């Protein structure tokens, strides 16, 4: 079974925190893990339609 690491970033693009995340993801990728970086400030976060108070995420293209 393949492993996947998903990292969430809310900081500025290509600043310190994101740089560290990218380094960690690159090392994980070398160890045959799937990786994905999701920038939450680029996502369209809205309230849940079913209950009205739990957020859900829809990626912007």
Is the pTM for the entire model greater than 0.85? no
Count H helices and E strands in the chain, helices first.
1, 4
Output the CA torsion sign for 9, 15, 17, 23. Answer: positive
Q: Give per-residue pLDDT as tens, 4-52.
A: 999 999 988 889 999 999 999 999 999 999 999 999 888 887 776 776 5
pLDDT for the residue numbered 8:
94
- In sequence order, which residues have a C-beta less than 8 Å from that of residue 59 and are 6 or more positions away? 38, 43, 44
Distance of CA 1 to the CA centre of its chain: 21
CA distance 59 to 42: 8
Length, in residues, of the chain? 61
Can you give the pLDDT at residue 46?
74
């Amino acid at each position: 079974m393949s492993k996947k690491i998903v990292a969430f970033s809310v900081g500025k693009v290509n600043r310190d925190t994101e740089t560290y995340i990218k380094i960690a993801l690159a090392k994980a990728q070398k160890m045959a893990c799937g990786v994905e970086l999701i920038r939450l400030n680029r996502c369209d976060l809205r309230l849940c339609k079913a209950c009205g108070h739990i957020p859900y995420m829809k990626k912007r293209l």
